[in-house]
A and B are shown apart, each in its own frame.
Chain A
Amino acid sequence: MNEWRQKNPLEWNKYVNKEVRVTASDKQQHQGWVYTVDPVSASVVLVDFQSTRKASVAVVMGHAVGEVEVLRDGDEAMAERLSAVFVPGGRQVLSQDELQRRKRCLRAWLEKNLIPVSEEGESLRVAGVLTVNPPYGPQDCSSANEIILSRIQGLVESNPG
C-alpha cells in the first residue's frame, strides 16, 4: 500500500481547499484545487477552473497517487467556490426575502385550496403529516404518506404564484 493511502482522514483533510500538483503512477501530473479525498479509496478530487465558466474535474485514484505537492492555500472564497461546484444542478442560492416570499405565496395557495398549513420555523407543516422545506418547490416536500405526498406535490407544482 502506498504512503498516500496510509494517511488518516485528518491528514487528508489538510489538503482540502489547497491547490496541489499530483503525480500519478503513470507519471502524468494533475494540477488543481483539492475538493476532497475519498476516505474509502484515498482518491483525490481536483477541480480546475478554466478561463471559461465551466470547471473541469480530475480524480486520481488512491492506489495511483504518487507525489502530492502543495502549491498554494485557498481562502474562504475559494472554499465556497469549490463547494458550490458540486451542488446539484438548478439550485441557486435564494435570498432571505425571496425565500420568505415563496413561503408566503405557497402558504396562501395551500390555504386557498382548503389545506391546513402551519409554520414550523423555516418549514411549512401541511395537514400535520407533510413538511415543505425551503425553497418550497415540489422537490422539497417530505412525508411518510405517499398519497398525500403526491397530491401536495402536484398542488405545489401548479402554484400560479
Chain B
Amino acid sequence: MKMPVCVLRLPRGPDLNSRGFDPNSPRYIALCPTTISAFSESGTDSCSLRDEQRTRSVLRERYLRSLIAMSQKQVWFNMHERVRVEAKFGASDIDVLNFQVSDLQTPLGIQKEALIRCPDVISYSFEL
C-alpha cells in the first residue's frame, strides 16, 4: 500500500481564458453555477448591493484563510461511493473546482501528485 505507483497522467493544458475571475469563461459556465445570478434577481438598490459585496468579500477572505491554514497539511477527502482518501493539500484553483494535492493515498497506491476535482468531493477535513 505504501509503494508509489507509476501512473501516467498528462498535465492539463492552460485555460484559454484564465485571466483571473472570468465568469464568461466556458470552463466556469460549464462547471461552476454562479452565485452572481442570486443578486441580479433580488431588488438591487445600491445600498443592498454594497452590503452584499462587502459580505461576499468578508466570507471569501475567511475561506481563503481556511485554505491557507490547510496548505501542507494532511487532509481527508470524502468522495462519492463512500471513498475516503488522504493527501497532503497543496493548493486550490480560484473557482474551487480543483485541488492540487501530493501523496494521495488511493486504493491503487500512492499518487505522488494529483488534481482532485471538487465536484467529486463531498466533504473534506483536517486538523489544525
Q: Mark A1-33, 1 if CB is under 8 A from B, else 0.
A: 100011111101100100000001110101000
Q: Is the CB of A57 within 8 A of B62?
A: no
Contacts A45-B62, A45-B63: A57 and B123 contacting too (C-beta < 8 A)? no
* Contact A56/B127 with A24-B122, A40-B95 known, Cβ cut-off 8 Å: yes
A57 near B39 (CB under 8 angstroms)?
no
| CB nearest neighbor in A for B37 | A6
Q: Chain A: how many interface residues by the 8 Å CB criterion? A: 39
- Asked if B4 is an interface residue, CB under 8 A from chain A, the answer is no
Number of A-B contacts defined by CB within 8 Å: 118
Contact bitstring B51-71, A, C-beta under 8 A = 1, else 0: 110011011101101101110
- Given the known inter-chain contacts A28-B78, A30-B123, A56-B125, please indicate yes or no for A61 contacting B52, CB distance below 8 A: no
Q: Which residues of A contact B68 (CB under 8 A)?
A: 86, 88
Chain B positions within 8 Å of A, measured between CB atoms, are: 32-33, 35, 38-39, 42, 48, 51-52, 55-56, 58-60, 62-63, 65-66, 68-70, 78, 80, 82, 94-96, 118-119, 121-128
Task: List 8 A-B residue pairs with CB atoms under 8 Å apart, sorted by A's residue number.
Answer: A10-B55, A13-B58, A40-B94, A40-B96, A58-B125, A64-B121, A64-B123, A86-B62
